[in-house]
Structure 1
Amino acid sequence: MPIGAIIGFVVGSFIDGVSVDDLKEEEQEYRGHQHKRNKNVQSGDFEISLLILASIVIKSDGKIDKRELDYVRQYFVNLYGKTRANSAFSLFNGIVKREISTRQVCLQIRQYMSHSSRLQLLHFLFGIANADGAIHAFEEEAIKKIAYYLYINEHDYASIKAMFISESESSYKILEIPKSSSDAEVKKAYRKMVKKYHPDKLIGLGDEHEKMGKQKFQKVQKAYDEIKRQRGM
Protein backbone atom coordinates (compact mmCIF):
# COMPACT_ATOMS: atom_id res chain seq x y z
CA MET A 1 0.00 0.00 0.00
CA PRO A 2 1.48 3.43 -0.92
CA ILE A 3 2.39 5.96 1.76
CA GLY A 4 -0.38 8.34 0.72
CA ALA A 5 -3.07 5.72 1.29
CA ILE A 6 -1.66 4.70 4.68
CA ILE A 7 -1.20 8.24 5.97
CA GLY A 8 -4.57 9.18 4.49
CA PHE A 9 -6.11 6.53 6.69
CA VAL A 10 -4.24 7.88 9.73
CA VAL A 11 -5.39 11.50 9.35
CA GLY A 12 -8.64 10.94 7.45
CA SER A 13 -8.83 10.36 3.71
CA PHE A 14 -11.04 13.38 3.06
CA ILE A 15 -10.24 16.77 4.57
CA ASP A 16 -11.96 20.06 3.82
CA GLY A 17 -13.16 18.92 0.41
CA VAL A 18 -9.75 17.76 -0.81
CA SER A 19 -8.72 14.12 -0.60
CA VAL A 20 -5.32 12.48 -0.69
CA ASP A 21 -6.40 10.82 -3.95
CA ASP A 22 -7.13 14.25 -5.47
CA LEU A 23 -3.55 15.24 -4.81
CA LYS A 24 -2.24 12.03 -6.35
CA GLU A 25 -4.40 12.57 -9.46
CA GLU A 26 -3.00 16.07 -9.86
CA GLU A 27 0.49 14.62 -9.60
CA GLN A 28 -0.24 12.33 -12.56
CA GLU A 29 -1.53 15.24 -14.62
CA TYR A 30 1.46 17.34 -13.60
CA ARG A 31 3.85 14.67 -14.81
CA GLY A 32 1.91 13.88 -17.96
CA HIS A 33 1.53 10.26 -16.80
CA GLN A 34 5.27 9.69 -17.00
CA HIS A 35 6.66 6.39 -15.77
CA LYS A 36 7.63 6.57 -12.10
CA ARG A 37 11.28 5.90 -11.53
CA ASN A 38 10.72 4.82 -7.95
CA LYS A 39 7.72 2.57 -7.43
CA ASN A 40 7.94 2.57 -3.65
CA VAL A 41 8.00 6.33 -3.03
CA GLN A 42 6.34 8.70 -5.45
CA SER A 43 6.42 12.48 -5.40
CA GLY A 44 2.82 12.63 -4.15
CA ASP A 45 3.70 10.38 -1.22
CA PHE A 46 6.59 12.66 -0.32
CA GLU A 47 4.37 15.71 -0.68
CA ILE A 48 1.73 14.35 1.69
CA SER A 49 4.45 13.46 4.20
CA LEU A 50 5.74 17.05 3.97
CA LEU A 51 2.28 18.44 4.69
CA ILE A 52 1.62 16.25 7.71
CA LEU A 53 5.01 16.73 9.35
CA ALA A 54 4.85 20.48 8.61
CA SER A 55 1.58 20.69 10.52
CA ILE A 56 3.18 19.02 13.54
CA VAL A 57 6.08 21.51 13.64
CA ILE A 58 3.87 24.55 13.02
CA LYS A 59 1.53 23.61 15.88
CA SER A 60 4.33 22.72 18.27
CA ASP A 61 3.98 26.00 20.21
CA GLY A 62 0.20 25.82 20.39
CA LYS A 63 -0.36 28.48 17.74
CA ILE A 64 -0.14 28.82 13.97
CA ASP A 65 2.31 31.45 12.70
CA LYS A 66 1.35 33.04 9.36
CA ARG A 67 5.02 33.28 8.34
CA GLU A 68 5.35 29.52 8.68
CA LEU A 69 2.18 28.94 6.68
CA ASP A 70 3.50 31.29 4.01
CA TYR A 71 6.75 29.32 3.91
CA VAL A 72 4.86 26.08 3.26
CA ARG A 73 2.72 27.68 0.58
CA GLN A 74 5.71 29.28 -1.18
CA TYR A 75 7.65 26.02 -0.99
CA PHE A 76 4.89 24.24 -2.90
CA VAL A 77 4.43 27.11 -5.35
CA ASN A 78 8.16 26.95 -6.13
CA LEU A 79 7.93 23.20 -6.65
CA TYR A 80 4.70 22.83 -8.58
CA GLY A 81 3.23 26.21 -9.48
CA LYS A 82 0.18 27.94 -8.01
CA THR A 83 -2.56 25.57 -9.19
CA ARG A 84 -1.21 22.41 -7.65
CA ALA A 85 0.13 24.32 -4.64
CA ASN A 86 -3.38 25.61 -3.92
CA SER A 87 -4.73 22.05 -3.88
CA ALA A 88 -1.93 20.94 -1.59
CA PHE A 89 -2.56 23.87 0.74
CA SER A 90 -6.28 23.11 0.90
CA LEU A 91 -5.40 19.65 2.13
CA PHE A 92 -2.85 21.17 4.50
CA ASN A 93 -5.42 23.52 6.03
CA GLY A 94 -7.47 20.48 6.98
CA ILE A 95 -4.49 18.53 8.28
CA VAL A 96 -3.46 21.41 10.55
CA LYS A 97 -6.82 21.16 12.35
CA ARG A 98 -6.33 17.46 13.10
CA GLU A 99 -4.62 15.82 16.05
CA ILE A 100 -1.99 13.57 14.52
CA SER A 101 0.20 10.94 16.15
CA THR A 102 3.79 11.89 15.29
CA ARG A 103 4.99 8.38 16.01
CA GLN A 104 2.33 6.64 13.94
CA VAL A 105 2.86 8.80 10.86
CA CYS A 106 6.66 8.61 11.10
CA LEU A 107 6.60 4.83 11.39
CA GLN A 108 4.75 4.62 8.08
CA ILE A 109 7.07 7.12 6.41
CA ARG A 110 10.13 5.29 7.71
CA GLN A 111 8.94 1.97 6.35
CA TYR A 112 8.55 3.17 2.77
CA MET A 113 10.91 6.11 2.37
CA SER A 114 14.66 6.09 1.72
CA HIS A 115 17.17 7.65 4.10
CA SER A 116 17.92 10.43 1.60
CA SER A 117 14.23 11.29 1.31
CA ARG A 118 13.89 11.38 5.10
CA LEU A 119 16.85 13.76 5.31
CA GLN A 120 15.12 15.99 2.77
CA LEU A 121 11.99 16.00 4.95
CA LEU A 122 14.10 17.10 7.92
CA HIS A 123 15.68 19.91 5.88
CA PHE A 124 12.20 21.15 4.94
CA LEU A 125 11.04 21.11 8.59
CA PHE A 126 14.00 23.18 9.75
CA GLY A 127 13.17 25.63 6.96
CA ILE A 128 9.65 26.01 8.33
CA ALA A 129 10.88 26.49 11.89
CA ASN A 130 13.32 29.15 10.69
CA ALA A 131 10.66 31.02 8.68
CA ASP A 132 10.27 33.64 11.42
CA GLY A 133 14.03 34.15 11.67
CA ALA A 134 14.69 31.84 14.62
CA ILE A 135 14.29 28.19 15.53
CA HIS A 136 12.61 28.06 18.93
CA ALA A 137 13.06 25.35 21.54
CA PHE A 138 9.58 23.86 21.12
CA GLU A 139 10.03 23.69 17.35
CA GLU A 140 13.39 21.99 17.67
CA GLU A 141 11.93 19.54 20.16
CA ALA A 142 9.18 18.62 17.68
CA ILE A 143 11.71 18.19 14.83
CA LYS A 144 14.03 16.14 17.02
CA LYS A 145 11.17 13.81 17.93
CA ILE A 146 10.31 13.41 14.24
CA ALA A 147 13.97 12.70 13.44
CA TYR A 148 14.08 10.07 16.18
CA TYR A 149 11.00 8.28 14.83
CA LEU A 150 12.37 8.51 11.27
CA TYR A 151 15.60 6.80 12.38
CA ILE A 152 17.73 9.83 11.54
CA ASN A 153 20.83 9.62 13.72
CA GLU A 154 22.32 12.42 15.83
CA HIS A 155 25.11 13.18 13.35
CA ASP A 156 22.68 13.63 10.43
CA TYR A 157 20.37 15.68 12.63
CA ALA A 158 23.18 17.98 13.81
CA SER A 159 24.46 18.37 10.23
CA ILE A 160 21.12 19.59 8.88
CA LYS A 161 20.45 21.75 11.95
CA ALA A 162 23.83 23.46 11.43
CA MET A 163 22.70 24.46 7.93
CA PHE A 164 20.14 26.76 9.58
CA ILE A 165 21.83 27.82 12.82
CA SER A 166 25.08 29.72 12.38
CA GLU A 167 27.59 28.94 15.13
CA SER A 168 31.37 29.06 15.40
CA GLU A 169 31.72 25.40 14.37
CA SER A 170 28.71 25.11 12.06
CA SER A 171 30.86 24.24 9.04
CA TYR A 172 32.37 21.29 10.90
CA LYS A 173 28.97 20.14 12.15
CA ILE A 174 27.62 20.16 8.59
CA LEU A 175 30.50 17.85 7.60
CA GLU A 176 29.88 15.79 10.78
CA ILE A 177 33.42 16.12 12.10
CA PRO A 178 35.09 17.85 15.09
CA LYS A 179 37.13 20.99 14.61
CA SER A 180 40.24 19.05 15.62
CA SER A 181 40.06 16.92 12.46
CA SER A 182 43.12 16.84 10.23
CA ASP A 183 43.05 18.27 6.70
CA ALA A 184 42.92 14.73 5.33
CA GLU A 185 39.92 13.94 7.57
CA VAL A 186 38.20 17.12 6.40
CA LYS A 187 38.61 16.09 2.76
CA LYS A 188 37.38 12.58 3.51
CA ALA A 189 34.33 13.93 5.38
CA TYR A 190 33.54 16.27 2.50
CA ARG A 191 33.58 13.43 -0.02
CA LYS A 192 31.33 11.38 2.26
CA MET A 193 28.82 14.22 2.67
CA VAL A 194 28.78 14.93 -1.07
CA LYS A 195 27.70 11.34 -1.63
CA LYS A 196 25.09 11.51 1.14
CA TYR A 197 23.49 14.76 0.02
CA HIS A 198 23.90 14.47 -3.73
CA PRO A 199 20.62 15.53 -5.47
CA ASP A 200 20.69 12.34 -7.55
CA LYS A 201 19.65 10.44 -4.43
CA LEU A 202 16.26 12.16 -4.69
CA ILE A 203 15.79 11.22 -8.33
CA GLY A 204 12.75 9.06 -7.60
CA LEU A 205 10.87 12.03 -6.16
CA GLY A 206 10.97 14.04 -9.37
CA ASP A 207 12.92 16.95 -10.79
CA GLU A 208 11.32 19.54 -8.52
CA HIS A 209 12.50 17.78 -5.35
CA GLU A 210 15.94 17.23 -6.82
CA LYS A 211 16.21 21.00 -7.22
CA MET A 212 15.32 21.55 -3.56
CA GLY A 213 17.81 18.84 -2.60
CA LYS A 214 20.56 20.92 -4.16
CA GLN A 215 20.22 23.36 -1.26
CA LYS A 216 21.72 20.82 1.14
CA PHE A 217 24.39 19.93 -1.40
CA GLN A 218 25.34 23.60 -1.79
CA LYS A 219 25.54 24.10 1.98
CA VAL A 220 27.96 21.20 2.23
CA GLN A 221 30.10 22.81 -0.48
CA LYS A 222 29.94 26.18 1.29
CA ALA A 223 30.94 24.59 4.61
CA TYR A 224 33.92 22.87 3.00
CA ASP A 225 35.00 26.08 1.26
CA GLU A 226 34.79 27.95 4.58
CA ILE A 227 36.96 25.37 6.35
CA LYS A 228 39.52 25.47 3.52
CA ARG A 229 39.58 29.27 3.74
CA GLN A 230 40.09 29.20 7.52
CA ARG A 231 42.89 26.62 7.25
CA GLY A 232 44.51 27.92 4.10
CA MET A 233 44.04 24.53 2.46
Structure 2
Amino acid sequence: MIKWFIAILGYVFFRFPGAILGFLLGSLLDSTSIKTSGGFKKVFSQGEEKVTPADFELNLLSLSSIVIKADGRVNQTELDYVRRYFVSAYGKERANATFRTFNEIIKNRHVSAPHICMYINQHTRYPSRLQILHFLFGIANADGSVSNAEAEEIGRIAGFLRINFKDFESIKAMFFKTGDHAYKILEIEKTATDTEVKKAFRTMAKKYHPDKLQHMDEVYKKGAEAKFREVQKAYDHIKKERGIN
Protein backbone atom coordinates (compact mmCIF):
# COMPACT_ATOMS: atom_id res chain seq x y z
CA MET A 1 0.00 0.00 0.00
CA ILE A 2 1.11 3.58 -0.65
CA LYS A 3 1.26 4.59 3.02
CA TRP A 4 3.82 1.89 3.92
CA PHE A 5 5.96 2.67 0.89
CA ILE A 6 6.12 6.39 1.72
CA ALA A 7 6.65 5.61 5.43
CA ILE A 8 9.73 3.52 4.56
CA LEU A 9 11.08 6.28 2.33
CA GLY A 10 10.49 8.78 5.11
CA TYR A 11 12.41 6.62 7.56
CA VAL A 12 15.33 6.23 5.13
CA PHE A 13 15.75 9.98 4.73
CA PHE A 14 14.47 11.44 8.00
CA ARG A 15 14.38 8.48 10.39
CA PHE A 16 11.44 8.10 12.78
CA PRO A 17 9.81 11.55 12.26
CA GLY A 18 9.98 11.02 8.51
CA ALA A 19 8.36 7.61 8.86
CA ILE A 20 5.43 9.11 10.77
CA LEU A 21 4.93 11.90 8.26
CA GLY A 22 5.30 9.46 5.38
CA PHE A 23 2.70 7.13 6.90
CA LEU A 24 0.21 9.97 7.36
CA LEU A 25 0.75 11.28 3.83
CA GLY A 26 0.49 7.78 2.38
CA SER A 27 -2.74 7.13 4.27
CA LEU A 28 -4.21 10.26 2.73
CA LEU A 29 -3.14 9.15 -0.75
CA ASP A 30 -4.56 5.67 -0.13
CA SER A 31 -7.96 7.09 0.79
CA THR A 32 -8.13 9.37 -2.23
CA SER A 33 -6.76 6.89 -4.75
CA ILE A 34 -9.85 4.69 -4.50
CA LYS A 35 -12.10 7.58 -5.54
CA THR A 36 -12.74 9.25 -8.84
CA SER A 37 -13.82 12.85 -9.36
CA GLY A 38 -17.21 13.37 -7.71
CA GLY A 39 -16.60 10.78 -4.97
CA PHE A 40 -17.11 7.55 -6.94
CA LYS A 41 -15.46 4.48 -5.58
CA LYS A 42 -13.65 2.62 -8.34
CA VAL A 43 -15.33 -0.64 -9.19
CA PHE A 44 -12.39 -2.15 -11.02
CA SER A 45 -8.91 -2.04 -9.55
CA GLN A 46 -5.76 -4.13 -9.72
CA GLY A 47 -6.29 -5.49 -6.22
CA GLU A 48 -9.24 -6.96 -4.41
CA GLU A 49 -11.73 -4.65 -2.82
CA LYS A 50 -14.82 -5.15 -0.74
CA VAL A 51 -18.15 -4.90 -2.54
CA THR A 52 -20.70 -2.64 -0.88
CA PRO A 53 -24.35 -1.84 -1.70
CA ALA A 54 -23.17 1.61 -2.83
CA ASP A 55 -21.00 -0.05 -5.49
CA PHE A 56 -24.02 -1.78 -6.97
CA GLU A 57 -26.19 1.35 -6.80
CA LEU A 58 -23.62 3.51 -8.58
CA ASN A 59 -23.14 0.91 -11.29
CA LEU A 60 -26.90 0.62 -11.77
CA LEU A 61 -27.09 4.40 -12.06
CA SER A 62 -24.31 4.32 -14.63
CA LEU A 63 -26.21 1.79 -16.77
CA SER A 64 -29.30 3.98 -16.37
CA SER A 65 -27.37 6.96 -17.71
CA ILE A 66 -26.37 4.99 -20.82
CA VAL A 67 -30.01 4.24 -21.60
CA ILE A 68 -31.15 7.79 -20.84
CA LYS A 69 -28.56 9.23 -23.24
CA ALA A 70 -29.06 6.59 -25.92
CA ASP A 71 -31.30 8.73 -28.12
CA GLY A 72 -29.06 11.78 -27.83
CA ARG A 73 -31.08 13.72 -25.26
CA VAL A 74 -31.70 13.63 -21.52
CA ASN A 75 -35.40 13.20 -20.82
CA GLN A 76 -36.61 14.53 -17.46
CA THR A 77 -39.37 11.90 -17.32
CA GLU A 78 -36.76 9.17 -17.52
CA LEU A 79 -34.63 10.85 -14.84
CA ASP A 80 -37.69 11.05 -12.58
CA TYR A 81 -38.40 7.36 -13.20
CA VAL A 82 -34.91 6.41 -12.01
CA ARG A 83 -35.20 8.64 -8.93
CA ARG A 84 -38.57 7.15 -7.95
CA TYR A 85 -37.14 3.68 -8.42
CA PHE A 86 -34.18 4.38 -6.14
CA VAL A 87 -36.33 6.06 -3.50
CA SER A 88 -38.63 3.02 -3.54
CA ALA A 89 -35.69 0.61 -3.36
CA TYR A 90 -33.41 2.32 -0.86
CA GLY A 91 -35.39 5.03 0.91
CA LYS A 92 -35.34 8.77 0.35
CA GLU A 93 -32.24 9.59 2.41
CA ARG A 94 -30.02 6.90 0.90
CA ALA A 95 -31.34 7.57 -2.62
CA ASN A 96 -30.69 11.30 -2.32
CA ALA A 97 -27.15 10.63 -1.14
CA THR A 98 -26.54 8.42 -4.17
CA PHE A 99 -28.16 10.90 -6.54
CA ARG A 100 -25.79 13.69 -5.56
CA THR A 101 -23.41 12.19 -8.10
CA PHE A 102 -25.98 11.26 -10.74
CA ASN A 103 -25.81 14.58 -12.57
CA GLU A 104 -22.08 14.08 -12.94
CA ILE A 105 -22.65 10.65 -14.48
CA ILE A 106 -25.22 12.04 -16.91
CA LYS A 107 -23.24 15.11 -17.97
CA ASN A 108 -19.55 14.38 -17.65
CA ARG A 109 -18.64 10.87 -16.67
CA HIS A 110 -17.53 8.38 -19.32
CA VAL A 111 -19.32 5.14 -18.57
CA SER A 112 -17.95 1.80 -19.74
CA ALA A 113 -20.84 -0.64 -20.13
CA PRO A 114 -18.58 -3.72 -20.54
CA HIS A 115 -16.72 -2.98 -17.29
CA ILE A 116 -19.88 -2.26 -15.34
CA CYS A 117 -21.56 -5.41 -16.62
CA MET A 118 -18.47 -7.45 -15.78
CA TYR A 119 -18.80 -6.26 -12.19
CA ILE A 120 -22.54 -6.99 -12.10
CA ASN A 121 -22.03 -10.46 -13.59
CA GLN A 122 -19.56 -11.28 -10.82
CA HIS A 123 -21.89 -10.20 -8.02
CA THR A 124 -25.44 -11.02 -9.11
CA ARG A 125 -27.42 -14.08 -10.13
CA TYR A 126 -29.02 -14.47 -13.53
CA PRO A 127 -32.61 -13.73 -12.33
CA SER A 128 -31.33 -10.46 -10.85
CA ARG A 129 -29.77 -9.50 -14.17
CA LEU A 130 -33.09 -10.17 -15.88
CA GLN A 131 -34.67 -7.71 -13.44
CA ILE A 132 -31.98 -5.14 -14.25
CA LEU A 133 -32.85 -5.55 -17.93
CA HIS A 134 -36.54 -5.04 -17.13
CA PHE A 135 -35.62 -1.90 -15.16
CA LEU A 136 -33.65 -0.48 -18.09
CA PHE A 137 -36.59 -1.02 -20.44
CA GLY A 138 -38.77 0.68 -17.83
CA ILE A 139 -36.53 3.75 -17.98
CA ALA A 140 -36.70 3.86 -21.78
CA ASN A 141 -40.48 3.48 -21.66
CA ALA A 142 -40.99 6.17 -19.00
CA ASP A 143 -41.80 8.79 -21.66
CA GLY A 144 -44.40 6.56 -23.28
CA SER A 145 -42.34 4.61 -25.81
CA VAL A 146 -39.00 2.88 -26.28
CA SER A 147 -37.01 4.34 -29.17
CA ASN A 148 -35.00 2.13 -31.52
CA ALA A 149 -31.77 3.72 -30.23
CA GLU A 150 -32.74 2.87 -26.64
CA ALA A 151 -33.70 -0.69 -27.57
CA GLU A 152 -30.38 -1.18 -29.38
CA GLU A 153 -28.41 0.19 -26.41
CA ILE A 154 -30.28 -2.05 -23.98
CA GLY A 155 -29.64 -4.98 -26.32
CA ARG A 156 -25.92 -4.20 -26.20
CA ILE A 157 -26.02 -4.08 -22.39
CA ALA A 158 -27.95 -7.37 -22.34
CA GLY A 159 -25.11 -8.96 -24.27
CA PHE A 160 -22.56 -7.72 -21.74
CA LEU A 161 -24.81 -9.05 -18.93
CA ARG A 162 -24.74 -12.48 -20.64
CA ILE A 163 -28.50 -12.54 -21.05
CA ASN A 164 -29.54 -14.97 -23.75
CA PHE A 165 -31.39 -13.75 -26.84
CA LYS A 166 -34.75 -15.36 -26.02
CA ASP A 167 -34.82 -13.82 -22.55
CA PHE A 168 -33.96 -10.44 -24.03
CA GLU A 169 -36.71 -10.72 -26.65
CA SER A 170 -39.18 -11.85 -23.98
CA ILE A 171 -38.60 -8.82 -21.77
CA LYS A 172 -38.43 -6.48 -24.76
CA ALA A 173 -41.83 -7.76 -25.91
CA MET A 174 -43.31 -6.65 -22.58
CA PHE A 175 -42.72 -3.08 -23.76
CA PHE A 176 -43.19 -3.49 -27.55
CA LYS A 177 -46.80 -4.51 -28.21
CA THR A 178 -46.65 -6.07 -31.67
CA GLY A 179 -48.84 -8.69 -33.31
CA ASP A 180 -46.83 -11.56 -31.85
CA HIS A 181 -45.59 -9.97 -28.61
CA ALA A 182 -47.53 -12.45 -26.44
CA TYR A 183 -45.71 -15.36 -28.09
CA LYS A 184 -42.34 -13.63 -27.71
CA ILE A 185 -43.00 -13.09 -24.01
CA LEU A 186 -43.56 -16.84 -23.65
CA GLU A 187 -40.50 -17.46 -25.85
CA ILE A 188 -42.38 -19.49 -28.47
CA GLU A 189 -43.41 -19.13 -32.11
CA LYS A 190 -46.96 -18.43 -33.26
CA THR A 191 -46.93 -21.89 -34.83
CA ALA A 192 -46.63 -23.53 -31.38
CA THR A 193 -49.30 -26.07 -30.49
CA ASP A 194 -51.72 -25.48 -27.61
CA THR A 195 -49.79 -28.03 -25.56
CA GLU A 196 -46.55 -26.15 -26.24
CA VAL A 197 -48.23 -22.87 -25.25
CA LYS A 198 -49.29 -24.32 -21.90
CA LYS A 199 -45.83 -25.76 -21.30
CA ALA A 200 -44.20 -22.44 -22.20
CA PHE A 201 -46.44 -20.59 -19.75
CA ARG A 202 -45.49 -22.95 -16.90
CA THR A 203 -41.79 -22.53 -17.76
CA MET A 204 -41.94 -18.74 -17.94
CA ALA A 205 -44.07 -18.43 -14.81
CA LYS A 206 -41.43 -20.42 -12.95
CA LYS A 207 -38.58 -18.36 -14.42
CA TYR A 208 -40.09 -15.02 -13.47
CA HIS A 209 -41.57 -16.04 -10.15
CA PRO A 210 -40.87 -13.35 -7.49
CA ASP A 211 -39.51 -16.00 -5.11
CA LYS A 212 -36.36 -16.11 -7.24
CA LEU A 213 -35.49 -12.60 -6.01
CA GLN A 214 -35.98 -13.12 -2.29
CA HIS A 215 -32.33 -12.15 -1.73
CA MET A 216 -32.84 -8.76 -3.42
CA ASP A 217 -34.43 -5.49 -2.30
CA GLU A 218 -38.20 -5.14 -2.20
CA VAL A 219 -38.30 -3.08 -5.39
CA TYR A 220 -36.70 -5.95 -7.31
CA LYS A 221 -39.37 -8.30 -6.03
CA LYS A 222 -42.00 -5.86 -7.30
CA GLY A 223 -40.25 -5.85 -10.65
CA ALA A 224 -40.37 -9.65 -10.72
CA GLU A 225 -44.09 -9.46 -9.96
CA ALA A 226 -44.51 -7.07 -12.91
CA LYS A 227 -42.80 -9.55 -15.25
CA PHE A 228 -44.87 -12.38 -13.81
CA ARG A 229 -48.06 -10.42 -14.56
CA GLU A 230 -46.92 -9.80 -18.14
CA VAL A 231 -46.40 -13.54 -18.60
CA GLN A 232 -49.91 -14.18 -17.26
CA LYS A 233 -51.39 -11.50 -19.55
CA ALA A 234 -49.57 -12.96 -22.55
CA TYR A 235 -50.93 -16.41 -21.77
CA ASP A 236 -54.46 -15.09 -21.28
CA HIS A 237 -54.18 -13.24 -24.61
CA ILE A 238 -53.17 -16.40 -26.46
CA LYS A 239 -55.83 -18.48 -24.72
CA LYS A 240 -58.51 -16.00 -25.74
CA GLU A 241 -57.16 -15.81 -29.27
CA ARG A 242 -57.13 -19.61 -29.65
CA GLY A 243 -60.12 -20.44 -27.48
CA ILE A 244 -58.03 -22.52 -25.10
CA ASN A 245 -59.81 -23.54 -21.89
Q: Do Structure 1 and Structure 2 share a fold, with TM-score over 0.5?
A: yes
Aligned residue pair count: 203
Alignment of 1:113-124 (within 5 A): 113-124=124-135
Counterpart for residue 149 of structure 2: 138
96-105 or 172-181: bigger deviation: 96-105
Counterpart for residue 9 of structure 1: none
Distance 1:202 1:91, change over 3 A: farther
Q: Could you say which structure has the greater relative contact order, defined with CA pairs below 8 angstroms and 6 or more residues apart?
A: 1
Counterpart for residue 77 of structure 1: 87
> What percent identity do the matched residue pairs reach?
52
Counterpart for residue 218 of structure 2: 207
Task: Give the residue type in structure 2 aligned to 1:172.
Answer: Y
The CA deviation at 1:79 is: 2.6
8 Å CA contact 2:61–2:102 kept in 1: the answer is: yes
Q: What CA distance in whole angstroms lies between the structure 2 residues aligned with 1:165 and 1:87?
A: 34
The CA deviation at 1:223 is: 0.8
Counterpart for residue 99 of structure 2: 89
Unaligned runs of at least 5 residues, structure 2: 1-33, 43-49
Unaligned runs of at least 5 residues, structure 1: 1-11, 22-39
Q: What CA distance in whole angstroms lies between the structure 2 residues aligned with 1:216 and 1:99?
A: 31
Task: Give the residue type in structure 1 aligned to 2:160.
Answer: Y
Task: Give the residue type in structure 1 aligned to 2:180.
Answer: E
TM-score normalised according to structure 1 size: 0.79
Q: What CA distance in whole angstroms lies between the structure 2 residues aligned with 1:113 and 1:186?
A: 30
Secondary structure (helix, strand or coil) at the match of 1:159 reads: helix
8 Å CA contact 2:134–2:223 kept in 1: the answer is: no
1:167 equivalent in alignment to 2:178: yes
Q: Deviations over 1:139-172 (max 9, x none)?
A: 1111011001111111001100000111111111
The structure with the largest alpha-carbon Rg is: 2
Task: Give the residue type in structure 2 aligned to 1:92.
Answer: F
Counterpart for residue 19 of structure 2: none
TM-score normalised according to structure 2 size: 0.76
132-141 or 122-131: bigger deviation: 132-141
The CA deviation at 1:181 is: 0.6
Alignment of 1:99-110 (within 5 A): 99-110=110-121
